[in-house]
Structure 1
Amino acid sequence: MLPKDKIDRINALAKKSKTVGLTDAEKVEQQALRQEYLEAFRRDFRKTLDSIEIVDMKH
Structure 2
Amino acid sequence: MISKERIARINALAKKSKNEGLTITEQAEQKKLREAYLAAFRGGMRNHIEGLKVVDEKGNDVTPEKLKKIQKEKGLHDR
TM-score w.r.t. length of structure 2: 0.70
User: Given residue 49 of structure 2, which amino acid in structure 1 is its aligned partner?
Assistant: L
Paired residue total:
59
Alignment of 1:14-53 (within 5 A): 14-53=14-53
Identity of aligned residues (%): 49
Q: Quick one: distance in 2 between partners of 1:46 and 1:10?
A: 23
Residues 9-56 of structure 1, C-alpha deviations (whole Å, 9 max, x = no match): 000000000011101000000000000000000000000000101124
Pair member with larger Rg: 2
**RMSD (Å), alpha carbons:** 1.3
Q: TM-score, normalised by structure 1?
A: 0.92
Q: Which runs of 5+ in 1 are unaligned?
A: none
Give the unaligned 5+ runs of structure 2: 61-79
The higher-RCO structure (CA 8 Å, 6+ apart) is 1
